[in-house]
Every structure is written in structure tokens, then in C-alpha cells.
Amino acid sequence: MDRQRIKQIVAEGETILGIELGSTRIKAVLTGEDHVPVAFGGHDWENRFENGVWTYSLEEVWLGLQDCFRDLADDARNRYGVTLARVGAVGISAMMHGYLVFDREGRQLVPFRTWRNTITERAAALLTEKFQFNIPQRWNVAHLYQAILNGESHVKDIAFLTTLAGYVHWKLTGEKVLGVGDASGVFPIDSGTNDYNAGMTGQFDALVADLRLGWTLADILPKVLSAGERAGALTEEGAKLLDPTCQLQPGIPLCPPEGDAGTGMTATNSVAERTGNVSAGTSIFAMIVLEKELSKVYEEIDRVTTPSGRSVAMVHCNNCTSDLDAWMKLFREVTEAFGLKIDKTALYDTLYRKALEGEPDGGGLTSYNYYAGEHITGFGEGRPLLVRTPDSRLTLANLTRAMLFSAMGTLKIGMDILTEKERVRLDRLLGHGGLFKVQGVGQSLMAAALGVPVAVMESAGEGGAWGIALLAAYMLRREEGESLEAYLEQKVFGENAGLRVEAEAEDTRGFAVFMERYRQGLAVERAAVEHLK
């Protein structure tokens, strides 16, 4: 679209607004008629570790959302000279899982316990055994049951349990709903009904019946909606929450709120069978849309759904780029000590590309990026760790390569279950998130790690906000009976399959050597957790 046409649709409210609350950044995109972003906004934030819990305050949520929307509105005004007062539809996405509970008056009962916490081991194990369905520690129901097992006094006062996306959507619209993809990380979903599994909800209610809590799961869980359904409209109160300047008008329809897994699948056109994507930022996870159900329960594999309810196998790892980012900050501090001011983008671009010059296995270096625990390798806590032997080669190229390999190590362990034990086949795997921002680096090493070609689209760095904008557009513009898969394939992506990279044989062999050391060195990581408090 030319600039004049974009100016017109922004002024007339024909754009789509997508907002995603990620782990380190809240992002907003405004898209036009062709689904291409025309304006951007952002706000950086960080979780905090308080009283043994990773958390964000709800005040931070709203201050961050308001700053992000203001940044977007300023960008639209600077680009097109118009005030952003109305859009065609809005979508809200956020990091999945965790624990947000409220009483009947809407008061938060305990601080937000995010997906990053590994404090529900007992509850997750008991529910997995009860349901014969893997319940990871991150899931909302695991946090709920752990609170019950702990005897926490707030449990009897719960009137509403939701995710971060569901909370924001509720405050903007008054509707207590979730998209089916986000809901599938709260409680198991029956893909036949696109609703919570009725048998398992009954099992849970029976499990806690003797406690006489005064509620059932049906009383406190959000209603489940599928992609394409309407999920309420922006209220006057909601409009003021998002835009305190009162320029944004109420009445705008919203699509069902989704989690970052669902928006990642959407943003990479990975919602059909035999497709998959890898999202790599603070955490890293792979989503594979299944042709058939898995043969057994695996503790390492989550079972979730696409935004339209298709069954998905998810390999989720808590740690990805946090340790890498910490090293990048150190390198930047070194350059600044010499009086050099280097742009952050240029720093990442240069050092990531340096990794391609390293020895195939990282020169004998082994790195563990464990800021938090990792259920796949059996860690309740983490310690970032760099291990080298006297004969390893500590060079800048080898160090950055080892750091990038470390970001993929735990994912590889989980993915091997799907590809080797379950014989899951993939036609394509697309990458998105911060790890893929430097063209060709993250994806070539990821291809070597997973043994499958990896493609990356231009939207890789801002995928989640764009993904929820696409879901909002689908709700607003879809034709009768048009599936999400067809809409994305025919009206959004077309021939755009992204820049595809296949693994170099030498990189594949090098990663295999690195992984052999990585597995052997887990005992070192375990000793660090036990002895470094």
C-alpha cells in the first residue's frame, strides 16, 4: 500500500491492532488491509524474583501497556500525521501459563506466579498420574493444585483463574474468556469439542471435593473460544486503561485472547498438520501440529492446541537467550570502557556472525544457560555456567557459538523424543523470536541442532504481536466457513515461505559433539545448583 492509502485507513479505523506481552518486551503492531505492519510500538520490562517467585506486578502490566500503546500511536502520528482513535479489531496475546487468581470483587489474591516458576513439582506429578496426561509445572492447574496442597488460605476465595492475556482481555472488555490455544495451557482440551476435557474436570473436582472449597473448575475457569469467534468489545473503561489520553474510542471488537504459542504458530503459518515452528526468546519452545496422537505420555512433551483447536506437541524449555544477552551486555560494557559507543543491533549482528567462524563444536566449550530450572533435564533451579577444559579453545567465535548452541541444547533433548521415538514428520519448521533476528545465524545453527531445514520470515523478531493481529483480522474478515489454515495460506502468506536454510554437514556433526559434552556435563550443572546458593 502507498503512504496515502495507509494514512486513510489509519484515520478511518480500518487497521488491526495486535498487542503481545512477552517476557522482556511488550510489543504492538498496527496492520493494514494486506496484513503488513504499518506502525509499531514497544515497552521493555523484566520479571522480578520476589519471595522465591518469578513475578510481574499488575501495575507494571498497565504501565507497560499504556507506554507501548503510546509508542504505537506516536509512531502512527509521526509516519502518517493522523491520530490513532479507532481500529477495526484488537487482539491481546501474552506469555502462557502461570497463576493469576481473583476474588468475587475482582481483587488479586496472590502475586502473579509466571510460567518461569518451577514450584509445582508435586502437583504436576500427581495430576499427570491422575489424568494420564502430562501436566507441566507451568500450567495454571498445576499452580492451582499446588496452592491447594500447600493449604494456602486464598484458595477458598477464588472466583476467577486466568492467564495474563485473559486478564488483560477481561479488563478491556469485561469478558472472562480465552482462546483455545491459551486455554490448552491452563487445563487439558478435548480437540473434539474445543473445550476443557470434561472427564478430567470431573476428576479434578472429585479430587478436591472433601475440602469443600465452594467452587468447581467450571465456576472459575474462563470460557473457551476458537479462532474466528468474537470475544467482546472494548469498553469505555477498557479504552481508558489502554489509552489514558482518551483518544482511543470504545466499541472496537476483540478476538479471543491467545498465548504466545498460538500467536507464534499463526505468525509462521504453522497451524496445519506436519508443520511446526520454534519460538526463541527468553524461553524457547517448538510447536509441532500432529497428524495423530502420541503413543504415550511424556513428561517432556506438552499437549496443547492451535488457535483453531488442532492437537499440538510442544517442547518447552524455560531458558534460551537470557545468558546470551548477559554476555552481550558484558561485551558492550568492555567496548564502552574504551570509549566506544556501539549500537545494540550492530553488537548482536557482529557477535552472532562471529559464531559462524567458530569451530564446529564450539572449541570444546560447554555452556548451560540455566537462569531458571528445566523440567526436561530435571532441574528445579538453574545456575548459568560456562565450563571449559585446559585444552578447550576460548576464543570469541567459539564462545558465541557455544552460547548459541546452549540456547538450543535442552530443546534438542525434547525434540528427539518426537522425531526418534514417535516418528513425527515435518514438512517445514519456521523460526521466530529474538534468536532469529540476525539473518542466517540462529536458523542455520538451529537447522544443525534439529536436523531439519529452518525458514525465517521477515516478521521473525515481532512475530507474536503480528500473530495476534492476524487472528483479529481473521475474526473480522473471514468468509463463511473459511478455516484459519485456509485464510493464512491463501490471504496472508501465499508463496511467502520465508528464507529457508538447510544445515551444513559440518555444523550438524559439530553440534552432535557439543551435545555429547552437554549431556555429560549436566552433573556439573547439578553440582552448581546444589553447592552455589
- Structure confidence at residue 460 (pLDDT): 47
Cell triple for 364: 570444546
- Structure confidence at residue 16 (pLDDT): 98
Sign of CA dihedral 45, 51, 53, 55: negative
Beta-strand runs (E) in 215-350:
223-225, 258-259, 275-280, 284-289, 302-305, 311-317
Distance CA 181, CA 262 (A): 6
Q: Which residues have a Cβ under 8 Å from the Cβ of 452 and sit 6 or more positions away? A: 426, 429
pLDDT in tens, the chain (533 residues): 788 999 999 999 999 999 999 988 999 999 999 999 999 999 999 999 999 999 999 999 999 999 999 999 999 999 999 999 999 999 999 999 999 999 999 999 999 999 989 899 999 999 999 999 999 999 999 999 999 999 999 999 999 999 999 999 999 999 999 999 999 999 999 988 999 999 999 999 999 999 999 999 999 999 999 999 999 999 999 999 999 999 999 999 999 999 998 998 898 888 988 889 898 888 898 999 998 889 999 988 999 999 999 999 999 899 999 999 999 999 999 999 999 999 999 999 999 999 999 999 999 999 999 998 998 999 989 999 999 999 999 999 999 999 999 999 999 999 999 999 999 988 778 888 788 888 889 999 999 999 888 888 765 445 789 999 999 999 999 999 999 999 999 999 887 667 888 889 999 999 999 999 999 999 999 999 999 98
- Structure confidence at residue 452 (pLDDT): 87
Please tell me whether residue 206 adopts helix, strand or coil conformation: helix
Looking only at the bridges linking them, the beta strands covering 223-225 and 177-179 are parallel
- Name the strand (E) or helix (H) holding 344: helix 344-355
User: What 8-state DSSP symbol labels residue 139?
Assistant: S
Distance CA 23, CA 45 (A): 8
> 505-520 and 441-450 helices cross at what angle (nearest 10)?
70
The CATH architecture that domain 97-162+187-220 belongs to is 2-Layer Sandwich (3.30)
Residue 107 vs residues 62, 101, 157: alpha-carbon distances, Å = 15, 8, 10
| Gyration radius from the chain CA atoms | 23
- Name the strand (E) or helix (H) holding 415: helix 396-416
Distance CA 47, CA 114 (A): 9
Q: Which residue, 242, 61, 267, 70, is CA-closest to 164?
A: 61
Is 97-162+187-220's fold the same as 269-456+503-533's? Answer: yes
Cell triple for 325: 544477552
- Structure confidence at residue 497 (pLDDT): 63
Q: Rounded to an integer, what is the distance from CA 220 to the centroid of its chain?
A: 24
Please, what is the end-to-end C-alpha distance for the chain in angstroms? 56
Looking only at the bridges linking them, the beta strands covering 48-50 and 177-179 are unpaired
The one-letter amino acid at 408? M
Domain edges within the chain? 97-162+187-220, 269-456+503-533
Residues in the chain: 533
Give the count of alpha carbons within 13 A of 153, CB side only: 0
Cell triple for 320: 534460551
User: What 8-state DSSP symbol labels residue 375?
Assistant: T
| Residue-wise DSSP of 427-438 | SEEEEESGGG-S
Q: Let me know if domain 269-456+503-533 sits in CATH 3.30.420.40.
A: yes
